[in-house]
Amino acid sequence: MAIKFLNTTQVQEKTLYADAANDRIGIRTNTPLHPLDVDGDVVFRHGTNNKKVLFSEEGKDDVMIGDIEGMYSGAYFDMQYKADIAHFNKCKVGVGTASPAADLQVTGGIQMGNDGSTASSALAGTLRYRTNTSGTTKYSYVDMCMQIGSSSWKWINIVQNSWT
């Protein structure tokens, strides 16, 4: 691997590091773990249209994308990822639409899976699809988890379909 500098700028080891043995480049790190390993913010420029991508700010597990000038004033997309949960902050999420009117707007269908969870306060408002295919008559159901008492919840059937 060769790096050719077209000016007289001197590069310190931790500013730009080439790991020729493993074909890796490190920027602000001398121990790159990936083909390109950047320790810090990344700015993509196209003329005067500067976009910033911030991965895992110190103490956070998030990805932020936005205009450099508006990065911290609300004009950005912020997604946090922990374990198996993606959490979107300060933005509306549109699937199939570029201008969602609600926190989540889906233009098109939503596919629900068979949820066998016990109804609880944590699932209140959740929709589920389930089937019962034993026996001669087969059934499919759409249920919603609803509160039915001061501290009790139940899956309430919204619609049921049968076939043979």
Q: Same domain for 66 and 12? A: no
Residue 148 CA to chain centroid, in angstroms?
33
Are the C-beta atoms of residues 29 and 18 closer than 8 Å to each other? Answer: no
- 99 vs 155, residue with greater confidence: 155
Q: Same domain for 54 and 32? A: no
Q: Let me know if residue 76 belongs to a domain.
A: yes
Q: Would the pLDDT of 143 be above 60?
A: yes
Q: What pLDDT sits at residue 31?
A: 87
Give the residue-averaged pLDDT of 112-138.
89
Phi-psi region of 68 (alpha: psi -120 to 50; beta: other; left: phi over 0): alpha
pLDDT tier, 138 (very low <50, low <70, confident <90, very high otherwise) = very high
Q: Same domain for 87 and 132? A: no
Note down the domain range covering 151.
121-163
- Structural domains counted in the chain: 3
Q: Mark which of 77, 106, 135 sits at the end of a domain.
A: 106
Say how far apart CA 87 and CA 14 lie, in whole Å: 33
The mean of the pLDDT values for the chain is 77
Q: Let me know if residue 93 belongs to a domain.
A: yes
Q: What pLDDT sits at residue 81?
A: 60
Q: What pLDDT sits at residue 73?
A: 47
Question: What pLDDT, in 10s, does the model give residues 53-107?
Answer: 666 555 566 666 665 555 454 445 556 666 666 666 667 788 888 888 888 889 9
Q: pTM for this one?
A: 0.51
Q: Let me know if residue 126 belongs to a domain.
A: yes
Neighbours of 128 (CB within 10 A): 19
pLDDT tier, 153 (very low <50, low <70, confident <90, very high otherwise) = very high
Q: Would the pLDDT of 124 be above 80?
A: yes
Q: Let me know if residue 115 belongs to a domain.
A: no
Q: Same domain for 95 and 127? A: no
Q: Same domain for 50 and 27? A: no
Q: Same domain for 77 and 53? A: yes
Question: What pLDDT, in 10s, does the model give residues 6-31?
Answer: 555 555 656 788 888 888 888 888 88
Q: Let me know if residue 155 belongs to a domain.
A: yes
Q: Same domain for 53 and 16? A: no
Q: Same domain for 60 and 86? A: yes
Q: Let me know if residue 113 belongs to a domain.
A: no
Q: What pLDDT sits at residue 45?
A: 66
